[in-house]
Amino acid sequence: MFKKEEKSAINRRGFLKTVGAAGIGTALVSTRLFADSTPSASSGQAAAKDANTAAKDPNAVKEQRAIPMREFGNKGFKVPACSLGVMFDAEANTAVLRKALQLGVTFWDCAYAYGNGKSESGIGIILKEQPELRKKLIITSKSGGTPEELENHLQESLKRMNTDYIDVYYGVHGLDNPADLTDELKKWAEGAKKRKLIKYFGFSTHSNMADNLTAAAKAGWIDAITTTYNFRVMQDPKMNDAVEACNKAGVALIAMKMQAKRQPAEKETPKEKEVMEYFTRKGFTEGQAKIKAVLQDKRICSACIGVGRGNIEHLITDVDAVLDERELSKKDLAFLAEHAKKTCDGYCAGCASICAAASPDMPYVADVMRYLMYYNGYRDAEMAKQNYAGLPADARAKMISADYSLAESRCPNRLPIAKLVKEAARKLA
């Protein structure tokens, strides 16, 4: 249940006013959900009930819609079409988790490293208060390292979250290279499943995604992947084939990084204003349209909503995009595809093997671009700095003086790598 002070913090009238100016369907945030913090997982039935209610009272549907559910690969169960990226200090911000519950977002994605462990311990607080919620939640966590390190991290994650199992465990947090899907990783994953510590196993990826997805589809032991997937990346035929291969192999795909901001992101260019105005005229925010574009690809089972450092209004606006039943038209999708083409310069597409091969002494270019995006695009300086500090010290030391001319000439999106690396060092070091 909501605590008194949290209720007032999320004053309904206040946020309707705020978000109403920001895009679609704030009215879709239902009164029922405000009163019920334990939404049912059987949203198919809820949807049917909504349809019946709507037939009698056209206004009532707005009060009762639930998050649509989608098949999780070929595993025979469904997950909400959006999940919450718990990348923040959830211990200090349990209100966001409670709000997600109210909205029916019962799929939570966290990691051993997020918020220095406070992502997981925030979930632990909720589960200590309401252990009965565990059955309703689908929890993801991720880590990496040797099987021994994974085992230690997993045990610690279970303790932090006050649970004895994790639904989906990613044994590689940010897979760059399919060669890291080793037999020893497979063996550990199978053992953890047998011991009922995890239900499903997979990895997350934001570099060389197409190669990683293709390898996972062939491997036969990867159940799920959280991957960068957005209106830009989906234009790549190689990525489309990889998504198709996963879909055929029954690997569940969760999309992340759907906003696909360019670098530098401080200023909106006229082309970006154009896309914003186009969708505003249709009643969406630009961000909502980008989420819709991803979810219109039915091969994606869920869209992971990142809420920065725990922004409730951001969560509500994004969930509204998922609740809203209107689809983007072919013309809208073509407009986004054209926008992706016109503005690809400055967007790091995660094709790390290209720049890493061109500058073998400095194989972290794609990582640095992503951390800079956390800083400029997500406005999350803390997370950006933490990640940057995790790069090997010698790489950070020689980063500014390295020669990126070959990498720049091969970069398909013509990123000014040398300039951006300097900007990253200035902002993140």
DSSP for 190-214 reads HHHHHTTSEEEEEEEESSSHHHHHH
- Lookup: tokens for 205: 């990826």
| Least distance CB 352 / ligand SF4 (angstroms) | 5
H or E element that contains 169: strand 166-173
| Least distance CB 247 / ligand SF4 (angstroms) | 25
Nearer Cβ to ligand SF4, position 159 or 238? 238
Nearer Cβ to ligand SF4, position 111 or 349? 349
**Phi/psi class of residue 346: alpha, beta or left (left: φ > 0; alpha: ψ in -120 to 50)?**
left
Return the bridge partners of 99, or none. none
Answer yes or no: are the C-beta atoms of 309 and 374 closer than 8 Å: no
Nearer Cβ to ligand SF4, position 208 or 285? 208
Print burial letters for 162-193: b (CB count within 10 Å at least 16), e (below 16).
Answer: bbebbbbbbbbbbbbbbeebeeebbebbeebb
Answer yes or no: are the C-beta atoms of 75 and 223 closer than 8 Å: yes
| Least distance CB 408 / ligand SF4 (angstroms) | 8
| Least distance CB 44 / ligand SF4 (angstroms) | 40
Nearer Cβ to ligand SF4, position 27 or 402? 402
SS3 55: helix
| Least distance CB 368 / ligand SF4 (angstroms) | 9
Report the alpha-carbon distance of residue 104 to residue 98 in Å, rounded. 10
**Paired sense of beta strands 224-228 and 198-205, if any:** parallel
| Least distance CB 177 / ligand SF4 (angstroms) | 13
- Lookup: tokens for 404: 């990126």
Contact positions vs ligand SF4 (CB under 6 A)? 348-352, 354-355, 365-366, 369, 411, 413, 415, 417
Nearer Cβ to ligand SF4, position 126 or 368? 368
Nearer Cβ to ligand SF4, position 145 or 264? 264
Nearer Cβ to ligand SF4, position 19 or 352? 352
- Listed in sequence order, the residues at least 6 apart from 305 whose beta carbon sits closer than 8 Å to its beta carbon are 82, 83, 84, 85, 105, 291, 314, 315, 318, 319
